[in-house]
């Protein structure tokens, strides 16, 4: 087994596969951080150029950023680094196996295995893989191989078609990446309001909200938008504009999305929605966004 790209993901997956009996023989990494991470999580595994990783390994993990993956695959194929029968596994959420087409023409066996997990670049990531869903795209004849690798890492395979990969990845980014932004902004505002330990205050609240949302979907919606409390929302917008104007656009966008979902699921009463949507439209106009006429 070899790893091309010693970022946060590659060493963790390689370490998990090592626990399952695979033998890491080479890795590549350029930055000082990557070198240190590889040394910590894959001790005694030599760091070599990407082409040499492919020369040494039968199973190669390509764990580079999404935008770098096509160029990497093209380069490895053009230089003859890819060997027939070699398993090439990329971990990009955006791509299926089509991005590996140049390597496929050289005889490689393509797999797309994307762990639906955030990574820290430390050993804790290996433990977090237990029960983690992997978005898997593979040729029919390689389904069993893909399943086996995911299960060996402690994960659960979830099959994603080639054409659905961009939508699948957008959905994960919408939930996970934007969640971090929302929580960080909420903690900043709580500090400004004088809360000494915003993480301690938010932990139980957000944990319950996430659990309720996963269990009940839109039925878990609560708060002033879902209730149609237009006056409260107007007060929120005024306070945010005064103390944290950079958060107004995000608040309005999420409030509008929440209102639309609450209306569609019968949680927000139509007679209360008109005033609420008016507040959101006026707030957007004041923030430099769409005015009421764009509703």
**Residue 284: pLDDT band by 50, 70, 90 thresholds?**
confident
**What pLDDT score was predicted for residue 286?**
56
pLDDT over 60 at 287, yes or no: no
**What pLDDT score was predicted for residue 283?**
82
pLDDT over 50 at 288, yes or no: no
**How much is the CA Rg of the chain, to the nearest whole Å?**
24
Tell me which long-range contacts 126-130 makes (C-beta under 8 A, separation of at least 24): 126/12, 126/15, 126/16, 126/19, 126/41, 129/12, 129/13, 129/16, 129/153, 129/154, 129/155, 130/154, 130/155
Same domain, 124 and 254: no
Same domain, 280 and 151: no
Instruction: Tell which of 160, 176, 209 closes a domain.
Output: 160
User: Residue 256: left if φ>0, alpha if ψ -120 to 50, beta else—which one?
Assistant: alpha
Same domain, 150 and 210: no
**Residue 289: pLDDT band by 50, 70, 90 thresholds?**
very low
Same domain, 175 and 146: no
Percent of the chain with pLDDT strictly greater than 70: 96
- Cα-based distances in Å from 196 to 1, 188, 202, 204, 244: 48, 11, 12, 16, 18
**What pLDDT score was predicted for residue 243?**
95
Same domain, 91 and 154: yes
**Whole-angstrom distance, CA of residue 9 vs CA of residue 134:** 13
**Whole-angstrom distance, CA of residue 159 vs CA of residue 295:** 38
Q: Which residues contact 40 (CB under 8 A, 6 or more apart)?
A: 11, 122, 123
CATH of the domain at 155: 3.40.50.720
**What pLDDT score was predicted for residue 30?**
84
Same domain, 121 and 11: yes
Instruction: Tell which of 97, 128, 160 closes a domain.
Output: 160
The CA-based diameter of the chain, rounded to the nearest angstrom, is 68
Same domain, 24 and 108: yes
Instruction: Tell which of 143, 160, 177 closes a domain.
Output: 160
Give the range of the structural domain holding residue 288, as residue numbers without chain letter: 168-294
**Whole-angstrom distance, CA of residue 232 vs CA of residue 10:** 47
Considering only residues 286 and 132, tell me which one the structure prediction assigns the higher pLDDT: 132
Same domain, 147 and 183: no
Terminal-to-terminal C-alpha distance of the chain: 55
Same domain, 13 and 155: yes
Q: What is the pLDDT of residues 49-86, one digit of tens each?
A: 999 999 999 999 999 999 999 999 999 999 999 999 99
**Whole-angstrom distance, CA of residue 183 vs CA of residue 187:** 6
Considering only residues 285 and 164, tell me which one the structure prediction assigns the higher pLDDT: 164
**Global pTM value:** 0.87
Same domain, 190 and 239: yes
Q: What is the pLDDT of residues 261-279, one digit of tens each?
A: 999 999 999 999 999 999 9
**What pLDDT score was predicted for residue 108?**
97
DSSP run (H or E) holding 109 = strand 109-115
pLDDT over 60 at 295, yes or no: no
Task: Domain count for the chain, please give it.
Answer: 2
Same domain, 118 and 181: no
Same domain, 139 and 179: no
DSSP run (H or E) holding 40 = helix 32-41
**What pLDDT score was predicted for residue 285?**
66
């Amino acid at each position: 087994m070899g790893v091309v790209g010693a970022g946060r993901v590659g060493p963790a997956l390689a370490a998990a596969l090592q626990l399952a009996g695979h033998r890491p023989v080479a890795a590549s990494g350029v930055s000082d951080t990557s070198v240190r991470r590889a040394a910590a999580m894959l001790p005694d595994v030599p760091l070599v150029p990407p082409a040499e990783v492919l020369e040494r390994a039968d199973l190669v993990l390509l764990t580079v950023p999404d935008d770098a993956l096509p160029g990497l695959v093209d380069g490895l194929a053009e230089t003859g680094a890819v060997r027939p029968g070699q398993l090439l596994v990329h971990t990009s959420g955006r791509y299926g196996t089509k991005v590996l087409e140049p390597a496929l023409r050289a005889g490689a066996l393509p797999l797309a295995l994307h762990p639906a997990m955030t990574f820290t670049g430390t050993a804790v990531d290996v433990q977090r893989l237990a029960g983690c869903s992997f978005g898997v795209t593979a040729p029919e004849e390689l389904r069993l191989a893909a399943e086996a690798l995911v299960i060996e890492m402690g994960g659960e395979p979830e099959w994603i078609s080639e054409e659905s990969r961009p939508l699948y990845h957008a959905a994960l980014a919408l939930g996970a990446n934007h969640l971090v932004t929302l929580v960080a902004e909420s903690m900043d505002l709580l500090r400004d309001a004088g809360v000494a330990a915003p993480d301690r205050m938010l932990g139980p609240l957000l944990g319950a909200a996430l659990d309720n949302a996963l269990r009940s979907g839109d039925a878990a919606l609560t708060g002033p938008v879902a209730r149609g409390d237009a006056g409260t929302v107007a007060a929120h917008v005024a306070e945010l504009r005064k103390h944290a104007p950079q958060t107004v656009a995000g608040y309005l966008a999420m409030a509008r999305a929440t209102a639309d979902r609450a209306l569609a699921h019968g949680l927000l009463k139509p007679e209360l929605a008109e005033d609420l949507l008016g507040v959101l439209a006026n707030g957007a106009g004041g923030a430099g966004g769409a005015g009421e006429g764009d509703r």
